[in-house]
Structure 1
Amino acid sequence: MTAATRTATWTTAVDDAPIAVTTAGDLVAVAGAAGTAWILDLADGTPVGTLTLPGGLLTLEFSPDAAHLALAGPTGYGLWRRSDGRFLNSQTGAWSNAVRWATPDRVALASGRRALVLDTDGALQWSTDPAPSTVTDLAWLREGRRLVSSAYGGVRCHERHTDKPVAEYKYLGSHLAIALNPNGRWICTGNQDASIHIWRTRDGDELTMQGYPDKISRLAFDDTGRWLASDGAPDITVWDFSGKGPAGTSPRSLRAHENVTALAWRPGGSAVLASAGAEGTVAFWRAALGRAGGLLRPANARELPEAVTALAWAGPDRLVVADYEGRVEAWPLPDDLAL
């Protein structure tokens, strides 16, 4: 599909290569690799403001109520407050590439070998003890009461006022990404050794999915917790976690990209996945229509002139995409995917 056939609600440009997009409420934020974040109005893409984190940016995430934005990068992190534009910039010198809000007033950030939990004034609420290596990803369990972090050797679970982990799930290797299903039954990691490792939280029973051509750095459950999508190959794989889980089954394969650069499930549990690739394609999938072990073609695909570097859903009916040259667009859900 050519650029002329795309139906963007709006298009704007930022002066950097975007590496991450986040949305909440009526706002969009786009992270540029060099350290500038652009805050845009979701309705029309109009710039609301910019922030700069010295040393560069790796990720960013709005609080659920869109009242705050947390940013993280190679040398520290920052917190922006919408009400008055205050920006707290903490240059810790520690690598920080994961941000996860537990509640509208509490956020966790990776900071070197530790995870820090802050309030919206930047005050430290608590932190984890040092992991064996740099913390690579974070997630929350039990409605924001338990923090899960990944590093070399597995994942660790922390709660406030505990010096040591309250639970550990070990697997030798470098863990790059975490995905938890919503009810907390499964903890999954994407790994440097081209595998997905899975633990069942109630008893620690574990399973490894191996044989991927490349490392697994993108991993996500849909809102129902049934479908797990991952990169690790030109094909995206989607595992079915219904019933007793994926043991003894084969994944669906979704083929559209030369190299996967982003993936995100549509909110609401409709089993619609959006994915992006270095060749400039954004593809939409109805994962539930495929069969285990089968190859699923896109339900809809669109193209940008440059490599797509980031995407994020803004509610169930709009997708925000960004490409390597700084083009940012908002797209309505394609008609053939409307429910």
Structure 2
Amino acid sequence: MSITAPDADLGIAWDITLDDAPVALSTEHDLVAVAGAEGTTGILDTATGAPVATVELPGGALHAALSPDARHLVATGPTGYALWRREDGSTTVRESGSWSSAARWADAERFAVASGRRALVLDTAGEELWATEPAASTVTDLAWMRGGRRLAVAAYGAVRCHERHQAAPVRTYPYIGSHLALAVAPTDRWICSGNQDASIHIWRTRDGSELTMSGYPEKVSRLAFDDSGCWLAADGAPDVTVWDFRGKGPAGTAPRSLRCHETVTALAWRPGPDGHLATGGHDGTIALWRATAGRPETRLRPARILDGDAAVTALAWAGPQLLVSAYRDGRVRAHHLPSRTAL
């Protein structure tokens, strides 16, 4: 591992090269977690990039999630998951043999992890609190709702919602297809899935009414709502599409289009209500956008472009002024950016 000194001209706070190819990022408080394809998750100091700890997960890693208080980390992968505790630096590895695609924290004390066809809910000691009944196929994504009181679980054929300690779902939102990504609006008003069949499917949680946005040239595997819950960004094409969920939602409307990359590999909303979005591409570029500007059907231009040397694999904001980017060649870089209202 090597660390490069900051470059003030480029707005680079730090630049570090890891010995594993990054696949996912997580940021909370003073920590950045970088999950590597071969199973090494590096935990770094947000301000300097200095290493804090390393978590090893046999069989490789797919995802990492720091707890809201940055006292714990869960890393998931094809063979199970690992739980790291900051207080004593210990790591508990659970090699279940089940594909574990994601983990999500309900609060600082509980998290859910996808484990094969079920979702497991555990505490910070790694003890299982409850589990969902098996889905029709492998669980692909998870999201907490209602302040951590309800868990949405995506698997083939439906998104199912579970209350605490209830294996059977209390609400089912059906859709015949394979869900690749799940996004729930911060208001809990909408549940959206990005799908293998190159579509986005939307449910209004209040009444279960649904809408499908189809016609994407590629599968939709990345979805994200901004902090307001009014805007949804999605991949599935060279253009990133940004849908307007204000009022009655996106039915009958067209999205804004953001084109900069031949292939989109990452996207992340800047914290706050200003509609700033970062996107990354296979070509190594990162584009910064005022993504909610203009009118429907508008094709926007980047407000700023940051160049890299390898494909971008993940993006995450560590507060409104620090953007962390990961690249396929092992590099992880933190960019200082202007104030929240500027790019």
Q: Judge conservation of contact 1:177–1:217 (CA < 8 Å) in 2.
A: yes
Which residue, 215, 218, 229 being the options, matches 1:214?
218
Alignment of 1:149-168 (within 5 A): 149-168=153-172
In the alignment, is residue 28 of structure 1 matched against residue 29 of structure 2? no
CA distance in 1, matches of 2:171, 2:154: 12
- Size of the aligned set, in residue pairs, is 337
**Native 8 Å contact 2:130 2:167 kept in 1:** no
1:161 offset after TM fit, Å?
2.7
What corresponds to 2:204 in structure 1? 200
Task: For 1:291 and 1:6, locate their aligned partners in 2 and report how far apart those are by CA, in whole Å.
Answer: 32
Corresponding position of 1:102: 106
Alignment correspondent of 1:114:
118
8 Å contact kept, 1:228–1:240: yes
1:153: how far off? 0.4
1:5 & 1:95 partners in 2: Cα distance? 43
Matches within 5 A, 1:325-336: 325-334=329-338
1:147 to 139, 151, 161: 151
Match of 2:292, SS state, is helix
Counterpart contact for 2:274–2:340, Cα < 8 Å: no
Query: What corresponds to 2:183 in structure 1?
Result: 179
* Structure 1, unaligned runs of 5 or more: none
With normalisation by structure 1, the TM-score equals 0.97
Q: Bigger shift: 91-100 or 281-290? A: 281-290
Classify 1:80/1:18 alpha carbon distance in 2 versus 1 (closer, same or farther; 3 Å). same
1:77-88 map, 5 Å:
77-88=81-92
Q: Could you give the per-residue CA deviations for residues 276-316 of structure 1, whole angstroms, max 9, x where no partner exists?
A: 00000001111121220110111111110111111100011
Are 2:97 and 1:93 equivalent residues in the alignment?
A: yes
- Deviation of the 1:45 alpha carbon: 0.6
Tell me the CA shift for residue 22 of structure 1: 0.8
Q: Which residue of 2 aligns with 1:136?
A: 140
> Are the counterparts in 1 of residues 268 and 277 from structure 2 also a CA contact under 8 Å?
yes
For residues 292 and 241 of structure 2, what CA distance do their matches in structure 1 show? 13
Shift of 1:337: 5.3
Residue in structure 2 matched with residue 250 of structure 1 by the alignment: 254
Equivalences for 1:219-298 in 2 at 5 Å?
219-298=223-302
Aligned amino acid, residue 274 of structure 2: S
List runs of 5+ in structure 2 lacking aligned partners.
1-6
Does the 8 Å CA contact 1:262/1:309 hold for their aligned counterparts? yes
Distance 1:251 1:307 in 2: 26
Q: Which amino acid aligns with 1:138?
A: L
1:302 counterpart residue number = 306
Q: State the secondary structure of the residue aligned to 1:143.
A: helix
2 CA distance for matches of 1:52 and 1:120? 18
CA contact (8 A) 1:262 1:276 kept: yes
Report matched runs for 1:16-55 at 5 Å. 16-55=20-59
Contact 2:119 2:131 in 1 (8 A): yes
Match among 171, 174, 196 for residue 170 of structure 1: 174
Q: Is the 8 A contact 1:28 1:42 kept in 2?
A: yes
Aligned-residue offset at 1:159? 1.1
Contact persistence 1:148–1:158 (CA under 8 A): yes
Q: Percent identity?
A: 64
Shift, 1:261, TM fit: 0.7
Deviation at 1:338, TM superposition (A): 2.6
The Cα shift of 1:335 comes to: 6.3
C-alpha displacement of 1:183? 1.2
Are residues 1:313 and 2:317 paired?
A: yes
Structure 1 CA distance, aligned partners of 2:18 and 2:209?
Answer: 46
Q: Distance in 1 between matches of 2:257 and 2:338?
A: 22
